[in-house]
Amino acid sequence: MIPEDVRSLAVRVINRLRGYGIVVFTRDGRITRWLADATAVTGFVEDEIIGQNIAVIFTEADEAAGIHLQEIETALRLGAAEDARWHRRKDCTLFWASGATLLLQDDGRAFVKIFRDETHIRQAEEHRLLLLNELNHRVKNTLATVQSVAEQTLRSAGVAVEVRRDLANRFIALSRAHNVLVDQNWAGADLVALIAQAISPHDQEPRVWLHPSQAVALSLLLHELITNAAKYGALTTPSGCVDVSWNVGADGEGRRSLVLLWQETGGPPVSPPVRRGFGTPLIEKSFSGGEGGARLSYEAGGFRCVLTITLIDE
C-alpha cells in the first residue's frame, strides 16, 4: 500500500500538470478519476464526467469503430496502447492528443489514459504543409514559365532543336528533384527516389494495368520470389542480382497476356528444393486455371521464373 501522504502529494503534483489529461477508468470504460488538466483540455468537469464512458472523448467515427475498446484490449494484452488522433471536447470541437492507455492493475480491472493536448502543434504542421504545397505549386509554375520563355527565345535565335531539348530536359529534372523533396517535407531526399526519378524517362518497360484481384495475387507471388532470393538465392551474395522484365501481347481473339521474367544471377549454385514448403506451390499455382501459370527453372546461371498472366480487361 502507498502511504496516504505520498498518494496525496502525487495527486497534487498530477493536478498541477498543464496541457495533460489523466483519466482512470474500468475495463468496460467507466471513468472513475479525472485528473491533471483534463477539464481544461476537454471541457468536461469532474462531477459530470465521473461514471461516463471513456468513449465520450473519442470522435463519433472512432466511437462507432470501437477504437476506445481496442485500446483497452491492447493495453490488457501488451500493457500499453499508444495513440495520436483527434478527440472530442464537451462542445463537440476537436483536439489533437497523443498519449497512451496503460494497464493500471494486473487483474485488468483498471486502466489509465494519459494524453497531451497537441492541437496547436498539429495545426501548425498542417499549416506548414499547406504552405509547402502552395510553394511547390508556385515553384513548378515558375519553372514551367522559365522553360517556355527559354524555348521561345532559343527557337527565335535559331538554336538547334537538340540544344533546346537538352535544356528542357534539365528543367524537367529540376522539377522531379523538387517533387522528391516535397514528398519528404524538405527534410531531405531519398537516394533511391532520386535515382528512380532520374531514370524514369529512359524506362522502356511497358506500362501494364492489372485487375485488383490479379494485383493482389501478383504482389503475394513477388513477395515469395524476393523472400526466396534473399534467403537462398542470388541476394545472399554481394555479387548477386535479380532482373525483372516483362512484355504484353495479344492473341488473335484480342485477349491480352502479360509475360514476366524473374532472373537471378551471381548467386550460389541452385538446385530444385528438397522440401517443398508454402512458397514454391504458391508460385507454381498462381494464375492457374486458365489465367496463366508460372514455370520455375533451376539453371546453372541462376534461378528463373517465367510467369504468364491472361489479363482481365474489365
Report field, pTM of the whole predicted structure over 0.85 = no
Instruction: Dihedral sign for Cα 102, 103, 105, 108, please.
Output: positive
| Grid coordinates of 68 | 476506445
Q: Could you tell me what percentage of the chain is helix, strand and coil, using 3-state DSSP and rounding each to the nearest 5?
A: 45, 25, 30
User: Cβ(235)–Cβ(271) under 8 Å?
Assistant: no
Question: What class is the 4-117 domain?
Answer: alpha beta
State how far the Cα of 93 lies from the Cα of 44, in Å rounded to an integer. Answer: 12
pLDDT tens digits in sequence order for the chain, 314 residues long: 556 554 565 566 566 667 789 999 999 999 999 988 899 999 999 999 999 999 999 999 999 999 999 999 999 999 999 999 999 999 999 999 999 999 988 888 899 999 999 998 888 888 887 887 787 778 878 888 888 888 889 888 998 988 888 888 888 777 777 777 777 766 777 777 777 777 777 676 777 888 877 887 888 888 888 888 998 899 999 999 999 988 888 877 778 888 989 999 999 988 887 766 555 666 766 666 566 778 888 888 899 999 888 888 76
The CATH code of the domain at 212-310 is: 3.30.565.10
- SS3 (DSSP) at 15: coil
